[in-house]
Amino acid sequence: MNRMRWVTSLLRLFFRLLYGPFAWTYDVVAWVVSRGKWTAWGAAVLPSIPSGPVLELAHGPGHLLLRMARQGLRPVGIDLSPQMGALARRRLRRTGFPLRLVRAQAQRLPFPDGTFQAVVSTFPTEFILDPATAREAARVLALTGSVIIVPAAVPGGGDLLARALRLLYRVTGQNRFSPEDSFSAWRDAGFSLRTEWQQVGPDAVLLIRGTRP
């Protein structure tokens, strides 16, 4: 238990720095920990997103926003980090897509009820488990809308780096996400959850889909 508390505290510090003053290193760090697959893993949500306006929680440097825009969707991104907002703004501006970015907390979304057809989030931090996040997602979704979350991925392959990454993910708990255990707040907010492991090359990406009856 003490070890897990230590690991959790260390991870919180790491993410606070990575999403804040060291945001400029995010793409490099993500590339290293995924062997260059980070954006492909996140893109696993794309086939599940219905047409229409879609909200990305914690958009980060904007890779998924750009992919959604290129797919003809109408993405809006929120992120609390001004550094991530600057990175995403720069990326979208270079490609000429509209800048629909808002600095906000996932627990307090500044949008009217029923605005979006989908809410997506890829590799979110612990805010995704907050009951307030689940309630806000339910509020801004249309009645027929859905939520798609990618909380984790497990690298495949037998090379040394892949084995090292699998060990790292076991230590940090990133390979143990379960809607039954971790995502109960989303069920309490009215979502029916379905879990699916999707193959992306040799890797396995965990998708959690939420719909309302």
Name the pTM for this structure. Answer: 0.81
Sign of CA dihedral 176, 9, 136, 61: negative
Beta pairing partners, 193: 210
pLDDT on residue 84: 86
Please identify which residue in the block is written with the tokens 């990326």: 91
Rounded to an integer, what distance in angstroms lies between the CA atom of residue 79 and that of residue 3? 30
Confidence band, pLDDT 50/70/90 cuts, at residue 167: low
**Average pLDDT of every residue of the chain:** 82
pLDDT in tens, 125-158: 889 999 999 999 999 999 999 999 999 888 776 5
Are 150 and 177 in contact, with CB atoms under 8 Å apart? no
Are 165 and 36 in contact, with CB atoms under 8 Å apart? no
Q: What is the largest CA-CA distance in the chain?
A: 49
Is residue 160 scored above 80 in pLDDT?
no
Is residue 63 scored above 80 in pLDDT?
yes
End-to-end CA distance of the chain: 38
Identify residue 59 by its one-letter amino acid code. Answer: H
Domains recognised in the chain with CATH numbers? 2-211 (3.40.50.150)
Is residue 46 scored above 90 in pLDDT?
yes
Higher model confidence: residue 97 or residue 146?
146
The radius of gyration of the chain's CA atoms, rounded to the nearest angstrom, is 17
Is residue 73 scored above 90 in pLDDT?
yes
